[in-house]
């Protein structure tokens, strides 16, 4: 096993009270790539992300992060390497947008210390990057779903980790902001060699932005590989039960669904 591998997942099984959610899954993830995690509802995408984040422990099997067992890292240490944009975000208290994004610096700021100039600069830069500077002073409870989602993405980016995971983080966003966020992620991968793992429902978007796809189906990893190879008519039929035609264009494949009613 080379230490170049970011994640090494070995025969992982996970169950919620006796019901299998994931069954003996194994794969490797490499740095500097955009991984799309696709699969029908309830195929275990969120569970897999939680396993990779270390917030759930596999019932069987092992998850290695950079060659070390994931559960040997401290929470704080993990938070310096892995960031997550969760699926549903409920914020019950009136924190300001700025405070929320600043929380992304929590794993980097020692206890009882104030955030350093650098921390604040990172927060400002991230707010600018996602075009949410104008929300800075607003309280999160008064934002629209889409605005809130961008704030949470900003928090995860401010965490400045080498791995970023998104659990259907663009599901509340309009197409403009979805593309904006996916672009920001792509440029992160290019400039800092980050790894992104994103559960995405829109397969055309996944095809456009991802390098590789992990397909979950029936509790198992159906396949993992480059978009061109994974995205096929057969896969769409077998995994998603839809009739569709995949057109291979120069840049990325494009899917046309058979929508006959």
Contact call for residues 50 and 56 (beta carbons, < 8 A): yes
Number of residues that bind other proteins (CB under 8 A): 29
| Interface of this chain with other proteins, residues 80 to 109, rule: CB under 8 A | 80, 82-84, 86, 89-95, 99-100, 103-104, 106-107
The residue to which tokens 């300001």 are assigned: 96
For the record, the structure tokens of 192 come out as 């800092």
Q: Is 117 in the site for other proteins (CB under 8 A)?
A: no
Q: Is 253 in the site for other proteins (CB under 8 A)?
A: no
Nearest to 254 by CA among 234, 228, 235: 228
User: Binder to other proteins among 11, 26, 55, 71 (CB under 8 A)?
Assistant: 55
For the record, the structure tokens of 79 come out as 């938070």
Q: Is 51 in the site for other proteins (CB under 8 A)?
A: no
**Residue 44 or residue 253: which is nearer to other proteins going by CB?**
44
Give, in order, the Cα–Cα distances in Å from 115 to each of 38, 109, 154: 37, 6, 17
User: Binder to other proteins among 18, 19, 41, 74 (CB under 8 A)?
Assistant: 74
List b or e across 226-258, with b for residues whose CB sees 16 or more CB atoms inside 10 angstroms. ebeebbeeebbeebbeeebebeeeeeebebeee
Q: Is 144 in the site for other proteins (CB under 8 A)?
A: no
Q: Please list the residues that pair with 215 across neighbouring strands.
A: 38, 223
User: Binder to other proteins among 25, 29, 37, 78 (CB under 8 A)?
Assistant: 78
Q: Is 141 in the site for other proteins (CB under 8 A)?
A: yes
* Stretch of 37-45, 79-87, 143-151, 221-229 lying at the interface with other proteins (CB under 8 A): 79-87
Helices (DSSP H) in the chain: which residue ranges?
45-53, 75-81, 97-103, 117-129, 145-158, 175-192, 203-209, 227-230, 233-240
Positive/negative CA dihedral, 127, 149, 223, 249? negative
Q: Is 111 in the site for other proteins (CB under 8 A)?
A: yes
Q: Smallest distance from the beta carbon of 122 to other proteins, in angstroms?
A: 15
Q: Smallest distance from the beta carbon of 27 to other proteins, in angstroms?
A: 21
**Residue 61 or residue 115: which is nearer to other proteins going by CB?**
115
| Interface of this chain with other proteins, residues 154 to 193, rule: CB under 8 A | 159
Q: Is 153 in the site for other proteins (CB under 8 A)?
A: no
Nearest to 89 by CA among 160, 164, 140: 140
Q: Is 79 in the site for other proteins (CB under 8 A)?
A: yes
Interface residues with other proteins (CB under 8 A) are: 53, 55, 74-80, 82-84, 86, 89-95, 99-100, 103-104, 106-107, 111, 141, 159
């Amino acid at each position: 096993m080379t230490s170049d591998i970011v994640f090494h997942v070995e025969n992982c099984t996970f169950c919620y009270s006796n019901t299998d959610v994931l069954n003996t899954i194994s794969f490797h993830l490499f740095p500097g790539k955009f991984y799309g995690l696709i699969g029908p509802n309830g195929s275990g995408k969120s569970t897999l992300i939680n396993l990779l984040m270390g917030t759930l422990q596999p019932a069987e099997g092992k998850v290695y992060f950079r060659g070390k067992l994931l559960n040997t890292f401290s929470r704080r240490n993990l938070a310096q390497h892995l960031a997550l944009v969760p699926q549903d975000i409920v914020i019950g208290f009136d924190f300001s947008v700025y405070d929320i994004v600043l929380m992304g610096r929590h794993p980097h700021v020692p206890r009882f210390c104030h955030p350093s100039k650098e921390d604040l600069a990172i927060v400002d830069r991230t707010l600018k990057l996602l075009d949410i500077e104008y929300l800075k002073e607003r309280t999160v409870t008064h934002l629209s779903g889409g605005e809130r989602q961008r704030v949470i993405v900003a928090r995860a980016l401010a965490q400045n980790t080498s791995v970023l995971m998104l659990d259907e983080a663009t599901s509340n966003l309009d197409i403009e902001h979805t593309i904006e966020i996916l672009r920001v992620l792509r440029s992160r991968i290019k400039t800092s060699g980050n790894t992104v793992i994103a559960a995405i429902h829109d397969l055309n978007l996944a095809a456009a932005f991802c390098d590789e796809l992990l397909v979950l189906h029936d509790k198992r990893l159906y396949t993992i590989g480059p978009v061109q190879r994974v995205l096929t008519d057969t896969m769409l039929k077998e995994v998603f039960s839809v009739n569709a035609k995949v057109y291979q264009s120069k840049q990325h494949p494009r899917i046309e669904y058979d929508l006959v009613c």
